Each structure stands twice: as C-alpha cells, then as structure tokens.
Structure 1
Amino acid sequence: MSTAFLFRDDAYLKTATATVAGMNDLGGILLDQTIFYANSGGQPGDSGRLMTADGREIVIATTVHPDGDKTAIVHVPAPDQTLPAIGETVTLVLDWDKRYRLMRMHTALHLLSVVFPFPVTGGSIGADKGRLDFDMPEVPEDIPALETALNDFVRGEHDVTAEWITDAEMAAQQDLIKTMKVKPPMGQGRVRLIRIGAGETQVDLQPCGGTHVANTREIGPLRIGKIEKKGKENRRVSLFFAE
C-alpha cells in the first residue's frame, strides 16, 4: 500500500485532508496521502494530529516507513487513542514549529557538507542541533573561517530547489553522492536532487529525500560546535542555530 508524499511537492503544507487506507498490526495508520515526513535519512519523523469529521483528535507521535518500504508511511498514534475507521476522511495538522526547524537544520547540513569537503559517514538532524560525521583525517585549522563561509552561504539568499533524475542517470553520476553509508533512495525509477543556488552561484547539488527550506536566508545564523574524534579518521561536526 503506497502513500502519496505531498511534502515532496510542497514542504510548507501545514494541513491537508486524506483518507484512511488501512491499519498495520501495531495500530499504525496508513493514509492515501500525507504531509508527514517519515523517519529516514537522519531526519526524524513528523508529529502532529489527525482530526476526524466529528471533531475527534488523534495525536500522532511519529511517522515511519513500514518494514523498510519507502513507498508507504505509517502514522504512529500516541497511546490510548481511538483510531479512525478505514475509509474515513481526516484532516492532517502538522506540528509545524518542529518541522520548520528540521527543514532549516537539514538545509544547513547540506551547506556544512560544502564547507567541510569530505565524504560523509553519518548524520543526524534535530530541531535544535544537527551533526555530520566525516571521513576527515585531520581537523581543519581555521574553524572560525569555515563558520564564516557557512554563514556567508546563508546570507547569500540562495534558492533551494528540487528536481528528479532517473535511477540510471543517478548511477552514472556517483560523484553527486556525498554519503558513504546512506545511499540515495533508488529502486523506484527516479531520484530527487536538491540544488542550492543555480548557475555560477550554485553551492550544492546532491540526492536527498528530506524536507528543506526554499531559500538559505530562512536558516538563520549558524554556529559550528565541537569536533569530536569518532575513529581513526572519522570526525563528528556539530551544528547549532546561533539565535
């Protein structure tokens, strides 16, 4: 059972209507379409509410892909909720403040992968803090200069856009893949690319299925935190909002 991912076309949707398409064995709710992003790629699943036609509220604690199926999303209700009936129409209400901070941080981490031009070995996106792990033998000497470059990208007001290429085109452009352990979501015929900037002012282009802001100015000032050694050549770089 597949789900239409409305957030791929418009990450700024805060509410939408959907039809309950099914339930899984654990009481998770499947909808025909959703604005809720499911936990994947280091970005947490969204939370929020489902509102029924008779005014009942169902709190959604998180959202996940069922058993690794990237074409469907399960909406996990908080405990002790009265579940909707299959075929029922519900209104989705996203926890927007959380989502928007995740969008800002996710986009910021794309920029971090530019100022630290090393292969990415892992990452995590939070509403207040993000981090990327790099295959980085030595820590760069001038971290303040890298932080300045990072914030220059933010202040550059670069548009963030999405486009699609085929699986075959992705396979022929392996240089676009920065992550060593997380591979692009291939197997469905096409892969989404996220482009920051364009033409001569392009900053970054890489495959990504997450949610992002529309322009880098929305990210706000950033601060690079401590850099931790996590192996012989693995370094973890933390990133925070400065305001």
Structure 2
Amino acid sequence: MTEALFRADPYLRAAEARVTALTEEGGIILDRTIFYPAGGGQPGDGGVLRWKGGEIEIATTVKADADDIVLVPAEPAALPGVGAVLNQELDWDRRHRHMRVHTALHLLSVVIPLPVTGGAITAEKGRLDFDMPEAPEDRDALEQTLNDLIACDFAVTEEWITEAELDARPGLVKTLSVAPPRGTGTVRLVRIGAGENTADLQPCGGTHVARTAEIGRVRLGKVEKKGKQNRRVHLHLGR
C-alpha cells in the first residue's frame, strides 16, 4: 500500500521515496507519494522523479488495486529499478490551483443548496452539476455571495467519522453521483469554518487549501442545461 503523504500535508512539494513496483504499462509505484491520484473529479498530479543517473516526467497519477498509487510517465523512457531511492517533485502550481478550485466548489454547493449530480476540476476552472430544474435568477448575486464566503477566510480542516455515523447523518452527503469511499470503517470529512461558524461539512478525499482566502476571487461562468432536471454551473479562478 502506498503511503499517501498528500493526505497529511497537501502542501508538501518534494519528498524522498522508494520504488516498490513497476506496472506492465510502465507506471511507477512508490512506498510513499506526494502525488494525488485522480478521483472525485480532481485530476491526478504531475511532476518529476529524479534518481541517481536518471529522471522522468510524470503526466498524471491514478489509483490501482490494493491501495497502491501509480505514477504515469509522460512518455516512454528509462524507468528506475525496483528498490531505487528517488526524489519526487510536484508540479506545485497546477496542484495548488486544483486545491483552490476544489475548495471553491465546496462553497459553491453552499451558495446553491441543491443536490450535486456531478463535478469536475481543472487548473483554471471547475464545475458542479445540480439537480436544478430552473436556472438561477440572479447569477451575479450568487457570485457575490460566493466571494463573500471566500473572503471570510474560513479555516479548512479534516476530521473522520465512522461509516455508521455517516449513515446516521445522510445530509452530509451532497453528491448523488459519487458515493463516499467505504470499506475501511471510517470516512474523511472536510470542514470549512469551525463550530457555529461552519460553512460546509461533507465527505471528500481531495486536497484543499488551508484557508478560504487563499482561493482568491472567483467568477461564475455560464449555466448550462444538462437534461430535464440538471444545470451545470461553471466557476473560474481569478489570478
């Protein structure tokens, strides 16, 4: 099982690791990694691996069986051997933008308090699909409310509850299309705010900024009709 260093510290940009396996497709499995694997609408991380006598660019990162995480090279190249010790360096600018978008989307689900039917994240923008029969009447007002929440500079923290506790609080789950990961007995929650000033609390396995002000100002884009009941709301990062 790959130790997910990004879970404990999403701001970790470099770390040493050891190669534990190579996949038939040319992927690299490490004993520990700072690279987030694609999931929950958030893309997999990229970056560079460097070892004595070689280096390789990583295009993306994916999940594998048995809780392993596979780093996928950008193109065929010489791979480090099993047992090799190497240094992994994250494409931090891209990851940080993913974190900003992801946290902003959590707040978008607060501003639009409707069931979420899908979502996606890129380094420039994100979107959520809502069970929303009619488009919002005042998109500018929604955008201002969202930016007001961001400016509150809420702390973003994680906590864990048991699967039984989550079953007893079904309102925590906002997404209709993606169920929280199960099987370990506990579920990770991401909290924005604290105590009575909690703005949002929901299951999530992604990476987030430490405080909402780090997101910066955002802009709401077009609202698209996606089926009879669904509307897709686009969100764009500022600088």
Kindly indicate whether residue 127 of structure 2 is the aligned counterpart of residue 131 of structure 1.
yes
- Per-residue CA distance 1:135-175 (angstroms, 9 max, x = gap): 00112212111111100111000000011112222222211
Shift, 1:80, TM fit? 2.5
Q: How does 1:152-231 map to 2 (within 5 A)?
A: 152-231=148-227
Corresponding residue SS for 1:27: coil
Partner of 1:44: 43
TM-superposed CA distance for 1:242, in Å, is 3.1
- The aligned residue for residue 63 of structure 1 is 61
Q: CA deviation at 1:70?
A: 7.2
Q: Quick check: 2:54–2:80 contact (8 Å CA) kept in 1?
A: no
Superposed CA deviations along residues 87-134 of structure 1, whole A, max 9, x for unmatched, are 111111000000000000000000000001110000000100100000
Closer, same or farther: CA 70–235 of 1 in aligned 2, 3 Å: farther
Instruction: Point out where structure 1 has 5 or more consecutive residues left out of the alignment.
Output: none
Q: Could you tell me which residue of structure 1 aligns to residue 146 of structure 2?
A: 150
Query: Aligned equivalents of 1:179 and 1:145: distance in 2?
Result: 24
8 Å contact kept, 2:223–2:231: yes
1:55 deviation in Å?
4.5
Distance 2:68 2:206 in 1: 15
The residue identity in structure 2 corresponding to 1:13 is L
Counterpart of 1:48, as a letter, is: G
Give the TM-score, by structure 2 length.
0.97
Q: Distance in 2 between matches of 1:141 and 1:216?
A: 26
Give the match's secondary structure for 1:42: coil
Matched, 1:79 2:66: no
Contact 1:59 1:81 in 2 (8 A): no
Q: Kindly tell me the number of residue pairs found equivalent between the two proteins.
A: 239
Question: What's the CA shift string for 1:182-239, capped at 9, x where partnerless?
Answer: 0101112211100000112110000000000000000000111110000001000000
SS in 2 for 1:87: coil
C-alpha RMSD over aligned residues? 1.0
**Contact 2:3 2:32 (8 Å CA) reproduced:** yes
| Secondary structure of 1:107's aligned partner | helix
For the residues of structure 2 that align with 1:142 and 1:90, how far apart are their CA atoms? Answer: 52
Q: Please say if residues 172 and 203 of structure 2, whose CA atoms lie closer than 8 Å, have aligned partners that are also in contact.
A: yes
Find the partner of 1:120 among 116, 139, 162. 116
**Letter of the aligned partner of 1:19 in structure 2?**
R
TM-score normalised by length of structure 1: 0.96
Call closer, same or farther: CA 1:174–1:70 in 2, change over 3 Å.
Answer: farther
